[in-house]
Structure 1
Amino acid sequence: MQYLLGGAAAIIAAAAAWSLLHAIPASGAGVELSNKLVNQCARVDVAPGAEDVTIDPDLGLAFISAADRRGWYAKDAEQSVNPRNGIYAMSMDGSDVRKVSPPMENFLPHGVSLWRGPNGEKRLFVISHPPTGEELVELFDIAADGALTHLETISFPQMKSPNDLVAVGPRQFYVTNDQKFDRGFLAAMEAYLALPLSNVAYYDGENGRIAKGGIAYANGINQSADGKTIYVAELLKRRILVFDRDIETGELSRVKALKINTAPDNIEVSRDGALWVAGHSRIFEFLEHAKDENAKAPSHVIRLNPRNGLASDVLISVNGEINASSVGAVWANTLIVGAVFDGHVMVCPMLEILLRGPAATQQ
């Protein structure tokens, strides 16, 4: 018995030490923040949980994935079903917002990705978490006015906890599985010990497979303009992973990891190749906000040069203007910020000098 107690004490001590070394720094506890840019932005109401945004520059529209995800976070499937769930199209100045996804039963959209083909064809890929427990990717055709027509539904066994995706072909995509365990003691250990148990899966148009594992909460994902580089947000390590991509086989080879000063959520890529990353700089405040909509959680958007790792803060909100930012999508001089739970986005005009800041890249 003495040996058993000693072993248990050693395991507990090791877990506590690991938590101090990894989970506590990842939480951002004690990080000082002050508002930046957000007071120049306009609030535009959309629908609850305007979590992901991607911009179609040809149409001049921002596609917004919205779902009432408080129930989903609470593992309450019925509570998460809301008739306002869907994909919305918004003009870049925020003056026009309309729902463009067709009526779909149990549609709970999450990450989105716009695919633009060489001949002008376009598709919108959307992760959906229906209350049936399935994990799906829905494909939509995009009309000239932004209206969506459902094309097909894709699922495969390796897609178990999808968070975000990036489309690399008309039916091909990478998707992040953010957790190995979704509830209970093991899920808590995975989160609080920042264990690298999540992964990126790849669907080649016919079959799925795990493309890269060993990631501590894989969250946002995107690609370079030429499709040869994949970026993955590793939330619990507060860094962006950079991978070389074999376009023929889909294989990923890790190149480097770029440390940033927030826990990264979604990643958008601007015309100059810079990464725009929204994140959760104080994780414990995010968790409080997830439980209580009246609790404030900071929003933080940075701009990152993937070549040299230089980053700059673009937007910070600490007073509830927008809580728990999950995406910062930019085109020309406009930044659109979405959030995990809030029912609005912030539309922010940016000065030209901001686009020439320390994170500028040369293509």
Structure 2
Amino acid sequence: MPWGHIVYYGPEGIVSKARSGIAYPNGIARSPGGGLIYVAASSEPSVYAFKPTYDGALQLAGKATFRGFVPDNISVDAATGELLVSGFLNTLEMFRYNREVLFGTDARPASAIRRLIPSADARRRFAEESILIHSGDLLPSTTIAVVQRRNNMRRMVLGSVMADHIAICEYQQ
């Protein structure tokens, strides 16, 4: 159900609903310059791009809709502006894993990382590609992917709210 809201907390301490009617808003991130706010809507499954307005509202600027992929969290590569969207390929397996992880489980929910590249063409919105798909053995129920840059090295660090470790992957462009 589209009952979710995004709340704006302004510099004056004023709180307001910036956007309503989003189906399970889950991950949120900001573009490097702050001109766009990205929101993962897990129940749709989509990623929205919103432009903040002067009054604290969010105006729709773009949307990427997925098939066979439920977005969870978003991170933005500050150097490129690209979005890394972590998500699940089998939501029921992910829920089973989250429920059983405390008691021991053999579930290994498959996950994927999608890269969204903001497009200057308003009709295209995003260029999109899968950069990692794994069966769950790498990191069950992967919930976040971030880019780590040091010197000339670039890696992708993966995390999961339910796992006891992280995964570090070489990240190719």
User: TM-score normalised to the size of structure 2?
Assistant: 0.85
Deviations 1:107-160 (A, max 9, x none): xxxxxxxxxxxxxxxxxxxxxxxxxxxxxxxxxxxxxxxxxxxxxxxxxxxxxx
Deviations 1:211-234 (A, max 9, x none): 101100001111111111111001
Higher relative contact order (CA 8 A, sep 6+): 1
Report whether the alignment pairs 1:323 with 2:135.
no
Structure-1 separation of matches of 2:32 and 2:138: 32
Size of the aligned set, in residue pairs, is: 157
Among residues 161, 169, 172, which one is paired with 1:348 in the alignment? 169
User: TM-score normalised to the size of structure 1?
Assistant: 0.42
Give the structure with the higher percent strand.
2
Cα RMSD (Å): 1.4
CA contact (8 A) 1:202 1:211 kept: yes
Among residues 86, 103, 107, which one is paired with 1:278 in the alignment? 86
Structure-2 separation of matches of 1:315 and 1:242: 22
Q: Sequence identity, in percent? A: 27
Report whether the alignment pairs 1:265 with 2:72.
yes
Aligned AA (2:2) = P
Among residues 2, 10, 15, which one is paired with 1:208 in the alignment? 15
Structure-1 separation of matches of 2:136 and 2:16: 43
Deviations 1:235-283 (A, max 9, x none): 111111111112x432211122111342111111111111001011211
Q: Provide the residue aligned with 1:302 in structure 2.
A: 114
Structure-2 separation of matches of 1:316 and 1:342: 17
Deviations 1:309-339 (A, max 9, x none): 2211112221422111111101331100011
Aligned AA (1:297) = P
CA contact (8 A) 2:98 2:162 kept: yes
- Counterparts of residues 102-251 of structure 1 (less than 5 Å): 195-205=1-11, 206-246=13-53, 248-251=54-57
- Secondary structure of the equivalent of 1:236? coil
CA contact (8 A) 1:296 1:318 kept: yes
**Is the alpha carbon distance of 1:235 and 1:319 closer, same or farther for their aligned partners in structure 2, counting shifts above 3 Å?**
closer
Gaps of 5+ in 1: 1-194, 356-363
Give the structure with the higher percent helix.
1
Structure-2 separation of matches of 1:319 and 1:208: 39
Gaps of 5+ in 2: none
CA contact (8 A) 2:111 2:136 kept: no
Aligned AA (1:244) = K
